[in-house]
Amino acid sequence: MSDLLQRLRVRGWRMTSQRRVVAEVLDGDHVHLTADEVHARATRRLPEISRATVYNTLGELVSLGEVIEVCTDGRAKRYDPNAHHPHQHLVCSTCGTIRDVHPVRSPLADLPAEERFGFTVSDVVVTYRGLCPSCV
Ligand SMILES: [Zn+2]
Ligand SMILES: [Zn+2]
């Protein structure tokens, strides 16, 4: 579990019913929802929740560092609650399914010093693309 709700409780995040629903929708493993998907799911639990509230709450969770934005090109930005365990993504080119994956060593280790051009590299994003078992 991503234990998002637990983390937010520990940091004393002001938990209104609307904010709680957004956090509940995002909690879990391999969760990578678009803002519209979060809104659709939140509406099932709390019909009056507005799109603006969902967007604002997502923005706040991202700035707190409890949710990360995942961009896979050509598709809408996704929100990922697995913010505290460094991971990369496996993306299905057909249906867009995304799984969290953990390479056996840091992708940074594969970039030799002479290829860094003096940069201090702080972050690496690797996307593994292919077809998921249902789309093969
Ligand atoms: Zn697929
Ligand atoms: Zn992820």
- Which pLDDT tens digit goes with each residue over 27-80? 988 999 999 999 999 999 999 999 999 999 999 999 999 999 998 767 789 999
> How far does the centroid of ligand 2 lie from the alpha carbon of residue 84, in Å?
10
Please name which of 121, 124, 122 lies closest in space to residue 106, comparing C-alpha atoms.
124
> How far does the centroid of ligand 2 lie from the alpha carbon of residue 33, in Å?
10
- Residue 93 belongs to domain spanning: 88-130
pLDDT at position 123: 85
pLDDT at position 68: 94
Q: Are residues 96 and 61 in the same domain?
A: no
pTM confidence score: 0.86
> How far does the centroid of ligand 1 lie from the alpha carbon of residue 104, in Å?
24
How many CA atoms are closer than 13 Å to the CA of 8, on its beta-carbon side?
A: 27
Q: Domain for residue 27, yes or no?
A: yes
Which among 60, 80, 100 is the end of a domain? 80
- The SS3 assignment for 92 reads strand
* Neighbour-count burial of 70, counting CB atoms closer than 10 A to its CB (0-12 exposed, 13-18 middle, 19+ buried): buried
Which ligand is located closest to the Cα atom of residue 85?
A: 2
pLDDT at position 70: 92
Q: State how far the Cα of 118 lies from the Cα of 75, in Å rounded to an integer.
A: 32
Query: Structural domain tally of the chain?
Result: 2
Q: Are residues 116 and 59 in the same domain?
A: no
pLDDT at position 1: 54
